[in-house]
Amino acid sequence: MKISEQLKNKSRTTSFEVFPPKNDAAYAPVEAAVDTLSGFQPDFISVTYGAGGGTSVNTPKIAAHIQNDLHIPALAHLTCASSSKQEIERIVLDLKAKGIENILALRGDLPENYAPDRNHYQYASELVTALREIGGFSVGAACYPEGHVEAASPEADLEHLKEKVDCGAEFLVTQMFFDNTALYSFLYRALKKGIDVPVLAGIMPVINKRQIARSCALSGTTLPSRFKVMIDKFSDNPEALKQAGIAYATEQIIDLIANGVNGIHIYTMNRPEVAGAIMHNLSSIL
Ligand code: FAD
């Protein structure tokens, strides 16, 4: 099923993100994690695409397993910065042959010494256009409540986001955020700009201090002080940090839903027990 149709027909969606294995040896545990996640009956599961194209085989493979064996709509991420237009077309046709109907169109982080190349799509908006021309997919794109790190200004970022939507992105998935007011402010500004497609809130349950410090530094995500205090307090006790991270994510989602945000996308980090605990906490809400 196309995610654009789901978002039209359902008043609320809950979805998960997983990342594919880099090599065959690691495939079975990821597939097992996905199988367990499917038991929580998400509306769809997205599969990331390794930076630099390193998962061009395993992203379609795990997405096909989700779509065809587990009968849950799969959303395959696809980045264009490191692949030629011909490579992109080959991957897209492979996804289509595998029955995948949904693609999250991304530029990807720029490789070191990146130089624009006419044979590559330069921005995600160009990939969105190409995917719409190929046809047959519901196409989504990324958005950044706190602005993308490279953006000249929040206003410029919003203008480029509007371009992505005008090119055919039918829904947006946010970068992780830990302060809901950042999302509310973004949604207000986006709507004012005419960006009226569904926005799914990306929620990252924090279970590892080092991982979160690194990815927040790279993405420019702000850490609210009560969140920092929580991490500092429990960083040397992994089980306590996991419990606190699950509680924080649960509370964030309750506040989002209470404020009318109807799409929740959980970054599971391939940890079904973490996503499962959140789903359990919200069993009467989601
Ligand atoms: P774009 O939308 O192209 O924007 C990139 C930058 O260029 C922004 O600063 C934007 O303001 C600017 N820009 C856009 N258009 C123009 C223009 N015409 N002129 C000038 N500036 C412009 N990375 C992966 O490698 N694999 C993944 O699976 C993956 N999944 C992700 C999922 C989500 C939900 C999110 C939020 C991010 C994900 N990323 C992933 C990270 C993403 O690839 C990086 O954040 C990347 O740096 C930007 O990608 P984008 O698609 O947002 O780029």
Q: What is the pLDDT of residue 52?
A: 77
* pLDDT at residue 55 in the model: 86
pLDDT (0 to 100) of residue 211: 84
pLDDT for the residue numbered 23: 84
Q: What pLDDT sits at residue 159? A: 98
What pLDDT score does 212 carry? 87
Give yes or no for a contact between 56 and 88, defined as CB atoms under 8 angstroms apart: no
Q: Provide the pLDDT for residue 73.
A: 98
Looking at residue 180, what is its pLDDT? 98
The predicted structure's pLDDT at residue 51: 81
Supply the pLDDT for residue 111: 85
Rounded to the nearest angstrom, the distance between the alpha carbon of 142 and the centre of ligand 1 is 6
Q: What is the pLDDT of residue 53?
A: 75
- Residues 205 and 261: their CA atoms lie apart, in Å, by 18
Quick one: pLDDT at residue 68? 98
> Cα dihedral angle (235, 238, 244, 248), rounded to 10 degrees?
80
Give the residue numbers annotated as catalytic, written as ranges.
17
pTM over 0.85: yes
Q: Given this model, what pLDDT does residue 228 score?
A: 94
Does residue 265 line the site of ligand 1, with CB under 6 A? Answer: no
Using a 6 Å cutoff on CB, does residue 77 contact ligand 1? yes
CB of 48 within 6 A of ligand 1: the answer is yes
pLDDT tens figures, 42-69: 999 999 999 877 888 999 999 999 999 9
pLDDT at 96: 98
Reported as type and span, the H/E element at residue 231 is helix 225-234
Residues with Cβ within 8 Å of 260's Cβ and at least 6 positions away in sequence, in order, are none
Q: How far apart are CA 112 and CA 252, in angstroms?
A: 35
Report CA(116)–ligand 1 centroid distance (Å): 15
Give pLDDT tens digits for 239-284: 999 999 999 999 999 999 999 999 999 999 999 999 999 999 999 9
Token pair 């950044």: residue: 144
User: Average pLDDT of the chain?
Assistant: 96
Mean pLDDT by 10 residues, the chain (286 residues): 97 97 90 98 97 87 98 98 95 98 97 89 98 98 97 97 98 98 98 98 94 88 95 95 97 98 98 98 94
